[in-house]
Structure 1
Amino acid sequence: MSRPFRTLAAAVAALALVTACNSAADSRDPKGSAAPGGAAVRGVSADAITVGGIVSMTTAGGYSKKDTDLGARARYQRANAEGGVNGRRVAYLGAEDDGQDPGRNMAAARKLVQQEKVFAVAPMSSVTFSGADFLEQSKVPVFGWGTLPSFCGPKYIYGFNGCLVPMPGGTINQTWPEGVKKVLGGSAGKSVAIIANDSDAGKFGVRTFGRGFAAAGFTVSYAKPSVPATAVPSDWSAYTKEILRSNGGKAPDAVVSVMQTPSNIGLFTALKRGGYTGLLTDPTDYDPGLLAQETTRKALDGVHVLLQFQPFESADPAMERFKADIKAAAGGKDVPLNMHMLTGYMSADLFLAIAQKAGRNLTPESFQAAAAAFSDTGTLVGDRSGAKAQKESFGCGALVQLRNGRYEVSVPFACHRPVPFG
């Protein structure tokens, strides 16, 4: 993902539904107002905290994360209905569309800080994060899906379920390898092929997941970030030929795709046509909207999808509250749920939890102090820790499988001890 990893997307990773808008959840306050004590704090006034988002709502390939914005608006809307954060409502401006383009990502970051005067960016969901250094230097707290290296290490940038692409000295989330291991009845003598896009996220995804699957006892027979990131191939034969011969001339037991939905559809369709009967898995295709089209449903049938949150099928009270919040934000309509909504929702949720702990005197410095001491338990992504979020993942997740036109939980939500990444 993404959950995970829509780009690891997952690394990772990884779908388009309800129309999201860029309107604010509440009317905006004057920018640059004074905080208690007289010191000017960007994005903080006596009665509001201004927050924006950056989301890949449109892309050249048609892939969209626009429902990330809906998820964030749903969480902020409930927070405001409950009295806001320490007496301040959240003035959510909506998300800037970066088009999955590095230049637009940087432009969006500059606009939010220099023109909109936001206190925080939550959510940030894209396969590119060229604006990361600028936001870090501007002391802007950022929350999103930690599938990019920028979510691992910087002081002001947080993954809503932790850092998913760590640098040496960090840890690797083992939910995916352990889930595949359970489905296959063990890892001894089993091989996996890992394929990703030729992008920074794809390269990190192959690197981290390759080590994670190896640590779980699998033989990683193939691991390449070779698929173009900007366009879906029309011919998959070169990729499938390599994969189907990667295990000593034979097919691997599992194919792990760290790509987005359009590429997964093409890859999985080609593998099935080539006679592959092993396990197919990715971190991105948990989206009931995908079931509406027969060709898509057929391509993804049997695929096990990694989630880094409680499945929508869960009876957990927090999931029921999430569903109610999404419905309210969608104007009372029952809309198909997807992992992008959860990404926006939980990014906003972690920001709100830390901001609440920071107290009435909200500044970038007080926010950071609160984050360093923050922890809670039993959320839709498991147990959370502010200090941990910038170094390692929260280590929890599940697998769901698309079967006969519906998703079923194949490996229940659980937490696994991460392994060192060095």
Structure 2
Amino acid sequence: MVAATSCSAGGGGSSASSACGAPGVTPDQVEIGFLVSDSGAGSAAYASARAGIDARIGLANDEGGIHGRLITYDWRDDQNSPSQNAHVTDDLLRSKPVFGLVAATSAISGSLENLSQQGIPVVGLGRTDWAKYQNFFSYQYEPSRETIGRYIQSGGGSKVAFVTSGATTFTLDILARYKASFEALGLATTEPISYSRSTDSPAAVAQKLAATGANALVGFTAPQDLAAIMQAVRAAQLSFATSVSLTGYDRTILPTLGQSLAGVSFTVYFRPFEAGGPAIERYRSAMTRFAPQTTIPEQQFAMYAYIYTDLFLRGLELAGDCPTREGFISALRGVTDYDAGGLIQPVDIGNNASQPLDCYAFVQMNPAGNAFQVVREHLCADGTGT
């Protein structure tokens, strides 16, 4: 795969820069690696991720780079498979020196042990069991389940049903945690209902939901799966006080799935696009200028990749004019108020792995199914917020 660069401003290294010997660092540039699930199961969700890294790197280079060095990257597709992730990461590291990695994938677990042993910085979507790796950074690990429970209660929900795309051990373990958290808040829960697009009938899922007596629904599904289920729910004349999906906050789904998902709420772990403001406008401008292949900037994983890249660039900036991997890790671990330029609530990068993301936003598909609307811009696990 070819290197992708976004270089629109020059920058020369100083004499100190010329002497720097960290992998990927030259007098005039820093090369990083990008790992993304560009194919494989669930890869559709990551389709916009490369636009996000293009936009943030393009913006950085347009502003002169980091300490006068332009940022470039080379990327690999891990097919959303931990074993493939290990393979392509090793290939990337052998093919050229890169200073560190940005990861838009949940399959990075295949490489983390090896990357940790080599002290290679990695920034991406976090899981709490990855907190043991001091070289790994994320602005969010496991979000608070209680916050979703509070949102359901605020909408009148009292008994929650769960639907899943498949029933892997990993998914069932997560669901068990949700059940325990919801029940601790006083919400009743049901056993999960599994749905496979190739073998299961949405109408049969709707019948099972009706039998549970639940008045709230949480979807651990792909958006198209939940859309089919919600169509069947309406056909069966079922009604839920609150329906929440953990994925699907993406304007590209509006033309095809919007009407089916009308009334469904979505968790948002950054400032909602619809909330606007300077940080959102800066993001939109960067997407338009440096990722013009993406005609709709308001996509979840484009934003995630933009923020992951921003966090990486923060570490690179703090590492100084002659950055080392060790210096990057130490400096970024000391950041206590990272907010991605206003895109997220401030987090302490040093300890956020042990503290769930307690406060975040919820948007809802409007009745016409042609737009998202902000329902809660800031709701916390203790029920406070706006």
How high is the TM-score relative to the length of structure 1? 0.78
Among candidates 137, 141, 155, match of residue 163 of structure 1 = 141
Among candidates 72, 89, 96, match of residue 116 of structure 1 = 96
Kept after mapping to 2: 8 A contact 1:35/1:41: no
Q: Deviations over 1:231-262 (max 9, x none)?
A: 6544245544443323xxx2x12111122223
C-alpha separation in 2, matches of 1:42 and 1:113: 10
Q: Deviations over 1:330-388 (max 9, x none)?
A: 33975352111111011111111222222223222111211221022553121122112
C-alpha separation in 2, matches of 1:376 and 1:315: 21
Pick closer, same or farther for the CA change 1:62–1:388 going to 2, 3 Å: closer
C-alpha separation in 2, matches of 1:375 and 1:151: 19
Among candidates 397, 404, 407, match of residue 372 of structure 2 = 407
Deviation (angstroms), 1:201: 4.8
- Say whether 1:311 aligns with 2:272: yes
Which residue in 2 is equivalent to 1:365? 326
* Greater shift in the superposed pair: 277-286 or 334-343: 334-343
Structure with the larger strand share: 1
Among candidates 217, 222, 225, match of residue 263 of structure 1 = 225
- Say whether 1:285 aligns with 2:248: yes
Kept after mapping to 2: 8 A contact 1:193/1:255: yes
Pick closer, same or farther for the CA change 1:86–1:205 going to 2, 3 Å: farther
- Say whether 1:65 aligns with 2:30: no
Which residue in 2 is equivalent to 1:137? 117
Which residue in 1 is equivalent to 2:211? 245
C-alpha separation in 1, matches of 2:3 and 2:223: 24
Kept after mapping to 2: 8 A contact 1:61/1:232: no
- Say whether 1:181 aligns with 2:153: yes
Pick closer, same or farther for the CA change 1:316–1:135 going to 2, 3 Å: same
Deviation (angstroms), 1:26: 4.4
Pick closer, same or farther for the CA change 1:346–1:208 going to 2, 3 Å: farther
Which residue in 2 is equivalent to 1:206? 175
Q: What letter corresponds to residue 402 of structure 1 in structure 2?
A: M
CA RMSD of aligned residues (A): 3.0
- Say whether 1:385 aligns with 2:348: yes
Deviation (angstroms), 1:300: 1.0
Pick closer, same or farther for the CA change 1:239–1:117 going to 2, 3 Å: farther
Deviation (angstroms), 1:204: 4.3
Q: Deviations over 1:133-183 (max 9, x none)?
A: 22222322222222x4554332222223x2117xxxxxx454322222322
Deviation (angstroms), 1:84: 1.7
SS in 2 for 1:75: helix
Matches within 5 A, 1:210-225: 210-223=179-192
C-alpha separation in 2, matches of 1:360 and 1:417: 43
Pick closer, same or farther for the CA change 1:212–1:49 going to 2, 3 Å: farther
Deviation (angstroms), 1:67: 0.7
* Greater shift in the superposed pair: 378-387 or 260-269: 260-269
Q: How high is the sequence identity, in percent, across the aligned residues?
A: 22
Kept after mapping to 2: 8 A contact 1:381/1:394: no
Q: Which runs of 4+ in 1 moved over 6 A?
A: none
Q: Deviations over 1:274-299 (max 9, x none)?
A: 33210221121111111112xx2222
Q: Deviations over 1:273-328 (max 9, x none)?
A: 333210221121111111112xx222211111111111101132111111111111
C-alpha separation in 1, matches of 2:326 and 2:198: 44
Among candidates 299, 312, 328, match of residue 289 of structure 2 = 328
Q: What letter corresponds to residue 150 of structure 2 in structure 1?
A: E
Among candidates 248, 258, 261, match of residue 300 of structure 1 = 261
C-alpha separation in 1, matches of 2:28 and 2:382: 42
Q: How many residue pairs align between the two structures? A: 370
SS in 1 for 2:346: strand
Deviation (angstroms), 1:402: 0.7
Among candidates 60, 65, 71, match of residue 79 of structure 1 = 60
Q: Which runs of 5+ in 1 are unaligned?
A: 1-20, 28-33, 166-171
C-alpha separation in 2, matches of 1:145 and 1:233: 31
Which residue in 2 is equivalent to 1:52? 33
C-alpha separation in 2, matches of 1:264 and 1:106: 32
Deviation (angstroms), 1:126: 3.6
Pick closer, same or farther for the CA change 1:198–1:253 going to 2, 3 Å: same
C-alpha separation in 1, matches of 2:142 and 2:76: 24
C-alpha separation in 2, matches of 1:24 and 1:200: 39
- Say whether 1:276 aligns with 2:238: yes
Pick closer, same or farther for the CA change 1:367–1:262 going to 2, 3 Å: same
Q: Which runs of 5+ in 2 are unaligned?
A: 9-14
Q: What letter corresponds to residue 244 of structure 2 in structure 1?
A: T
SS in 2 for 1:114: helix
